[in-house]
Amino acid sequence: MSEYINKADILSFIRKMECSRFLKNDSIITDVVLSTTECIKTIVSTMPPEDVQPVVHGGWRDTGSGQECSVCGEIQYGYDSGRYYCANCGAKMDKRKGAPDVPN
């Protein structure tokens, strides 16, 4: 599974590394590190963003004739509550019945 990071967080981390006290001891190493970090910042800054969305969590509620999604209210007929995702909204069905936002 892919992991996604925030560009601003990475650039901030690189800037902190540039200001590290270890870079002040040797001017040659400092020049190499600063040159390398400039290249890394350019690469990170110009990378195209991925098309990602936050994960929405929900749960199934038994309606008697189907399973209702606690996020979008769509009723799924002919499916059991073991489905991991809502086919309508894509919510991850990992909350159990009785949780505060999943009615019994």
Q: What predicted TM-score, i.e. pTM, was given to this entire model?
A: 0.49
Number of compact structural domains in the chain: 2
**44 φ, ψ to 5°?**
-60, -45
Q: What angle do CA 25, 29, 35 make, to 5 degrees?
A: 130
Q: Kindly state whether residues 30 and 61 are assigned to the same domain.
A: no
Residue 73 has a pLDDT of 92
Residue 29 has a pLDDT of 65
Residue 18 has a pLDDT of 64
Averages of pLDDT over runs of 10 residues in the chain (104 residues) are 78 72 60 76 83 85 86 82 83 70 52
The verdict on residue 104 lying in a domain is: no
Q: Which domain holds residue 11?
A: 7-46
Residue 74 has a pLDDT of 92
CA–CA distances in Å: residue 62 to residues 30, 57, 79, 86: 63, 17, 11, 14
The verdict on residue 102 lying in a domain is: no
